[in-house]
Amino acid sequence: MKFFVDTAEIGEIRELADTGLLDGVTTNPTLIAKSGRDFKEVIQEICGVVDGPVSAEVAATDYDNMVREGKILSKIASNVTIKVPMTWDGLKACKYFTGKGIMVNVTLCFSAAQALLAAKAGATFISPFVGRLDDVGQDGLNLIEEICLIYSQYDFDTEVLVASVRNPIHIVESAKMGAHVATLPPSVLKQLVKHPLTDKGLDAFVADWAKTGQVI
C-alpha cells in the first residue's frame, strides 16, 4: 500500500518525506485555507519536495471551468494530479485530462456505483471517504471492500485511494482488502509506528544495556 499524506503544511511534508515512507500528497481547499498561503505556490513547493503524485483540487464545479483551472494546475509540475469532484461535470473533466495523459483523482466518493463510473472515466485514483461514512452511521470500510471487489473483476487501472482516514484500523483493514493507496493526516501516519509492547521492550533493553556499563 502506498502512503500519501493529507496536508498542505510544507514542514510536515518535509519531515515525512525524509523517512522515505511518503509516496504522495493530497490537498484540498480546506487544507490550503488552513495554511493561509497562496494555493499555486503551496502546490509548487510540495511538488519540489515529493516525487510522487500531488493532488491539487479545482475550485470550479462546472466542466468548462474545471478544465480551465486544471490546465493551469497541471502546468505547475509534472507530478500534479488534478482533483475533481464525483459529479457528472467532474467525470467529464476526468475523461478530458486522462485523455491528455494527466493524472486525475476523483474525490468525494461515497458509493461503489460512483467508483465504477470514475474507473470507466479513466480516473487515476478514486477517493472513497471512509471516516465521513462512519460519521453518518454507515460502514466506511465496507465501501472499500465493495470497490476493491468490483475493480478486481475488470481491467481497470484506477487505484483505490482511501481517504478521510481517522485511525490505524482504517489503514490496516483497507490494506487487507487490497486498497492501493491511503491518504493520512500526519498524526495518523505517526500512530502506525506506535505499540505499547514496542515501548515496553525498548525501555527494558535500554535499562539492561545501562547495567552493563558499556559504550558502543
Among the listed residues 140, 152, 149, 84, the one whose alpha carbon sits nearest the alpha carbon of residue 111: 140
List 71, 75, 83, 120, catalytic entry: 83
Question: Quick check: is 83 catalytic?
Answer: yes
- Cell 509540475: give the residue: 77
Looking at residue 101, the DSSP 8-state letter turns out to be T
CA dist., res. 88 & res. 61, Å (int): 10
Are 147 and 167 spatial neighbours (Cβ–Cβ below 8 Å)? Answer: no
Are 47 and 54 spatial neighbours (Cβ–Cβ below 8 Å)? Answer: yes
CA dist., res. 159 & res. 119, Å (int): 9
Question: Mind telling me the catalytic residues?
Answer: 83
